Structure 1
Amino acid sequence: MTRLTRADLDALPAYVPGRNVADLARELGIAEAIKLASNEVPFGPLPGVAEAVMAAVGQTHRYPDLGAVALRDKLAGRLGVDADRLVTGCGSVALAELLAKATCLPGDEIVYSWRSFEAYPIIASGVGATSVRVPNDAGHGHDLTAMAEAVTDRTRLVLVCNPNNPTGTSSRKADLDRFLDAVPDDTLVVLDEAYREFVTDDDVPDGLRTYGDRPNVVVLRTLSKAWGLAGLRIGYLVAQPEVAAAVRKVLTPFSTSTVAQAAALAALDAEAEVERRCAVVISERDRVTTEVRKLFPDVPSSQANFVWLPLGDQAVAFGAACEQQGVIVRPFAGDGVRVTIGTPEENDAFLAAAEFAAKSL
């Protein structure tokens, strides 16, 4: 039979979402399961978002604004950059895909830390690029020195996830300074800052403020996490105008929906509430980290809205044991378990499940 798709994709793992809570509840015969697997915030839409969505629904028979002009202008004003440096898209991951399309031809290289965001190898393979995976350091974070050494004349893109998903670790300014100085000017460095709003370490720089003037640096952000728009998929990048213009050329037309644009505009008016919610998450993150270290002392400090349990070969068994207690976490086979910070009650349920799971390992 004639093959109709690329053979190299056979070896590519599919992106794995968090398990469906209704499925687990039905299996266990319980009223409701708890999902702490997908790094969502647990507080519902921000004030004004639901109303904006309902109003926008009445215009869904029309195509959305292709340039998302109102949203770009609002983001530009908030960030203090020119609007021509901004591109919006269907989440920051979609924008990372577009950056790969705008920079890479088959055989070019994309360098990233591993383990890091599980979409990175999918993005690289999607454009026929070669993944260059640099192992995390002993603290489960990026080894930026090794990443810089891995850059060759074939490297077109370097992805730096800061804070890192799924480990929650962060790269600090001094290390990033040395790294960016070592990367050639003709190699694009993407600072993926999807979890920036949860950072409390003053030594972890704001990529846009600190490095946004560098021609070869792009900063990715999302409204899916702290801003509570995971179900509407919207993010943005900030780059130099010529890079942003190239990304727009490969952008899927009308990929930022009318509803998503309206929701994002409303959400950006609720910044004070975002800060309040982030403070709750951060407080709970610290509490969960302290408690879970009593079971697993090597849990690293997190600057995101999740914690990482470096359980190695026990990760899948730990995740299954938590599910027996009605709590869904995200195991990464052979590496560890990522646990999203939920409400205080959800976090209490996880801690109880973790104690049960630890005894079963």
Structure 2
Amino acid sequence: MDRRTLLKSSGAILGGLTLSGLINRAQAATPANAAVISFPTEKNPLLLNFNENSLGMSAQAKQAVVDCLPTAFRYPDAARAELIEQIAAHFGLKSENITLGNGSSETIQAAVQAIVLQAQQQQKKVQVIVPDPTFNYAELYAKPLGAEIVKVPLNAKLEFDLATMQAKAAAFAGKSIVYLCNPNNPTATITPAATMDSWIKSAPADTFFIVDE
């Protein structure tokens, strides 16, 4: 039995035998009037600038959370590996091409740090090109590392000025990181996938893209 199989079987067995009773007792002990924020209110409005989903969590997602509770005390190695394999198969990639993060911020940080480190090792300058305004975590992670931040204002339709961003990447003597949030945050404007793909394929050399979708 390999480690992955062992994790799957032991998690299921222990979860079924030991946690089901604890979870039931915890649910029974929860006060009926406990504060639960499920719908937007005047005091707890929907945060559109965070791209919060106005429809809330789907019934399937809620059930998936409940189903996972009995094994929540175990490391999720097996489930994580299985999810990566499914994502890779869906997009026609290898498992090593996929990484998972706790939300997009963690993955953005890892990508920025990896590219900046590579630039430093090659003794090259690095810049981060971002639309303005946008979700600002890429620049926040890059600034302490010494990367130059280049902000390109949105056009009159609140769309990305892709031509200007491409020109700034082409004119830079070093590595460029282009961060794009699609739909953009906080404007909610969407750049068609075909437009994005065509633009990325025509990008100058030493240009890296972080597309947050």
Q: TM-score range by the shorter chain?
A: 0.5 to 0.7
Q: CA separation of 1:35/1:177 partners in 2, compared to 1, >3 Å: closer, same or farther?
A: same
Normalised by the size of structure 2, how large is the TM-score?
A: 0.65
**Is the CA contact (8 Å cut-off) linking 1:104 and 1:156 kept in structure 2?**
no
Q: What aligned pairs does 1:89-128 form with structure 2 within 5 A after superposition?
A: 89-105=101-117, 107-128=125-146
Cα drift, residue 103 of structure 1 = 0.4
Larger Rg over CA atoms: 2
Report the secondary structure of 2:163's partner residue: helix
2:57 to 37, 40, 44: 44
Q: What aligned pairs does 1:152-231 form with structure 2 within 5 A after superposition?
A: 152-172=172-192, 175-176=195-196, 179-193=199-213
Report the equivalent of 2:68: 53
The amino acid of 2:57's aligned partner reads: G
After TM superposition, what 4+ stretches of structure 1 lie above 6 angstroms from structure 2? Answer: none
Cα drift, residue 191 of structure 1 = 2.0
**Is the CA contact (8 Å cut-off) linking 2:51 and 2:185 kept in structure 1?**
no
Report the secondary structure of 2:77's partner residue: coil
Deviations 1:307-355 (A, max 9, x none): xxxxxxxxxxxxxxxxxxxxxxxxxxxxxxxxxxxxxxxxxxxxxxxxx
Structure having the higher helix fraction is: 2
Cα drift, residue 190 of structure 1 = 2.0
Cα drift, residue 97 of structure 1 = 0.8
Unaligned runs of 5+ in 2: 1-34, 36-40
Cα drift, residue 52 of structure 1 = 3.0
Deviations 1:43-64 (A, max 9, x none): 33614322233122232xxx44
Report the equivalent of 1:9: none
**Is the CA contact (8 Å cut-off) linking 1:162 and 1:170 kept in structure 2?**
yes
State the distance in 2 between where 1:32 and 1:142 align.
Answer: 32
**Is the CA contact (8 Å cut-off) linking 2:174 and 2:206 kept in structure 1?**
no
Report the equivalent of 2:165: 147
The amino acid of 1:135's aligned partner reads: P
State the distance in 2 between where 1:67 and 1:99 align.
Answer: 23
The amino acid of 2:150's aligned partner reads: V
Q: CA separation of 1:71/1:126 partners in 2, compared to 1, >3 Å: closer, same or farther?
A: farther
Report the secondary structure of 1:111's partner residue: strand
**Is the CA contact (8 Å cut-off) linking 2:179 and 2:211 kept in structure 1?**
yes
Cα drift, residue 39 of structure 1 = 2.6
Q: Percent identity?
A: 27
Unaligned runs of 5+ in 1: 1-21, 23-30, 194-361
State the distance in 1 between where 2:199 and 2:85 align.
Answer: 32
Q: Does 1:34 align with 2:52?
A: no
Cα drift, residue 168 of structure 1 = 1.1
How many residues align structurally?
Answer: 161
Q: CA separation of 1:77/1:175 partners in 2, compared to 1, >3 Å: closer, same or farther?
A: closer
State the distance in 2 between where 1:174 and 1:65 align.
Answer: 35
Normalised by the size of structure 1, how large is the TM-score?
A: 0.40
Report the equivalent of 2:13: none
The amino acid of 1:187's aligned partner reads: T
State the distance in 2 between where 1:43 and 1:174 align.
Answer: 29
State the distance in 2 between where 1:177 and 1:81 align.
Answer: 17
Report the secondary structure of 1:68's partner residue: helix
Q: CA separation of 1:122/1:36 partners in 2, compared to 1, >3 Å: closer, same or farther?
A: same
Larger deviation, residues 82-91 vs 99-108: 99-108
